Amino acid sequence: MGAYFSEIFQGLWSLFVGLGITFKEFFKPVVTMPYPYETIEMPARYRGHVELIEDEEGKPKCIVCMACQRACPSDCITLDGEKPEGSKKKVLTSYQLDFTRCSLCGSCVEACNFDALTFSKEYNLASTRKEDFYFDLLKRLEDRNS
């Protein structure tokens, strides 16, 4: 008989404790983000696809050493460069990233000795077409600067 009543009262008490918890939660601030209207800033270590870094003049820092292309385990990176007349350094002419095969391992960023590659903070990458994932990183850099 005692167990019967103690069970009832303990059960009832636990219900009030639960109500207290939700009551407190009710007055706490909202933690969600109304996504398409507002977005959060990605953390510093977020790994999007790779992106070229520009120098002060807005040109890519890349010197076409091909280290990233060699480092890539999935053969995603194809880059090309040429030596303009009267210059000692090569200039990047195209940098194609095949994101369909990229596993975001970061070997290319690690391999780069000239601080020319980084991870982007891009995460809105949904598409129904495969072609949308062949990125021209040089063009992206120009778009960013213009």
Partner 1 sequence: MSLTLLNVIFAVVVAIAFAALNAAYLVWAERRGAGRIQRRPGPNINGPFGLFQPPLDGLKLMAKQLTIPGGADKILFVAAPVLSMFPAIMSFVTIPFSEMIVAHNMNVGLLMIFAFASSGSMALLFAGWSSRNKYAMMSAVRSVSQAVAYEIPMLITAITIVLMTGTMDLMEIVRQQGPSILHWNIFPLLTNSHNLLMPFSFLIFFTCTLAETNRAPFDLGEAESELVAGFHIEYGSMGFGLFFMAEYANIVIGSCLTTILFLGGWHPPLPFLGFIPGVVWFLLKIYILIATFIWIRWTFPRTTIYGLLNLSWKILIPISLFNLLLTAGLLKVF
- Which residues contact partner 1 by CB under 8 A? 8, 12, 15, 18-19, 21-23, 25-32, 34
Which CB sits closer to partner 1, 18 or 58?
18
Which CB sits closer to partner 1, 35 or 41?
35
- Smallest distance, Å, CB 5 to partner 1? 10
Which CB sits closer to partner 1, 3 or 44?
3
Q: Which of 62, 58, 57, 49 is nearest to 145 (CA)?
A: 58
Q: What is the DSSP string of 65-85?
A: --HHHHH-TT--EEEEEE--T
Residues contacting 98, CB < 8 A, separation 6+ = 75, 76, 77, 78, 133, 134
Annotated binding residues for [4Fe-4S] cluster, written as ranges, equal: 62, 65, 68, 72, 102, 105, 108, 112
